[in-house]
A and B are shown apart, each in its own frame.
Chain A
Amino acid sequence: MLPIRKMFRVYMLLKDHLPEIGKEDTVDMLDFVGTIIDSMNRVGKSADFTTVVIEMSGKELSEIQNMPVEKVIGLFVSNLIENKVFEFRMFVNQIDLV
């Protein structure tokens, strides 16, 4: 799991694109990632997706570029879960920092 400074860096890139999900909601992963990517594209920040995957997974850009799309999406989702991004959003909202 990421240390706090890296987590803030990742969160700052993601915060405006993360959909709201209730605790009881079931989520279709493709829809979920699609929502994030669409949102990033809309504001002209599509490169942020790759940056987030690199920051969270610790992989090189060339490595990501050579991976099949499904694998990149899988990596993105598994890292969101592993790094507890939604819990981090709750924490940031509690401390009212950003």
Chain B
Amino acid sequence: MENISIRDKEYPCIRCKLRRWIKLEVLRRTLNTKSITKYCDALIAYVSFYLEVPAIEIEEIPWTDLVDAYSKISSVNTPNLDLPLYKAPASKNNKKEIWDYDGRTWFIWLHELAHAYGWSIEYVAELDVDDAASLLQEIYTQEQLDKEFVWSTTEIAYPYNETSKTSDFHPLSRPDWMTYDPNIIKKVEDLQHTKILKSLLPMGMVVRQERPDVAH
């Protein structure tokens, strides 16, 4: 275990449990800024929160100690698992919902885990982030598969195709993290559509590429 030294005082650098980890992660995200003042505020707040030392004291420590502390804290708190849930690209629509509030992220995790497993607040708060995130992914996977099953039993899943005179199964679309493949740069919908003369179209049977975002 590495220690963090600030002004000749040693602090143990250990991995945070879920509740603290989420708060720390929220603070870490505020480092994504192009403003020097906001970056310094965020870095100081991050280290101050982890070490439980007032920001006014962290403010005055040598810059190398601060950066070193941040680097150690960030490294020890990095999730060890490479979950698909982490890999999906962030939503372009970062608009806050009207029912959002500060600190909601923790309550979303708590709600999902407590609801699924009947655990207490204290128990969920003390989980390791790898366990909690894996379970969260299982919860979301199960929910999606349940929805897909219900969807497949409804009429709207089989829209009537006028051309083929048949009802084709139209699968329920999956969330980004379940379909995201880093090797596929573009989704089919994002490809540029070009009109081609009918006379230039290929003859015979056309075998279409499988859509990456649709289950087959």
State whether the Cβ of A45 lies closer than 8 Å to any Cβ in chain B.
no
> Secondary structure at chain A's binding surface: helix, strand, loop or mixed?
helix
B contacts with A, residue count (CB < 8 A)? 16
Q: Is the interface of B mostly helix, strand, loop or mixed?
A: helix
How far does the Cβ of B71 sit from chain A's closest Cβ, in whole Å?
10
Smallest beta-carbon distance A88→chain B, Å = 7
- Are A8 and B40 CB-contacts (below 8 A) given A91-B67, A97-B34? yes
Whether B64 contacts A84 by the Cβ 8 Å rule is yes
Question: Closest Cβ of chain B: how far from A13's Cβ, in Å?
Answer: 13
Q: Is B62 an interface residue (CB 8 A)?
A: yes
7 additional A-B pairs beyond A3-B59, A4-B43, A4-B67, beta carbons within 8 Å, are A2-B63, A4-B63, A5-B40, A7-B63, A83-B63, A84-B64, A88-B63
Interface residues of A (CB under 8 A from B): 1-5, 7-8, 12, 83-84, 87-88, 91, 95, 97-98
Residues of B within 8 A of A (CB): 31, 34, 36-37, 39-40, 43-44, 59-64, 66-67
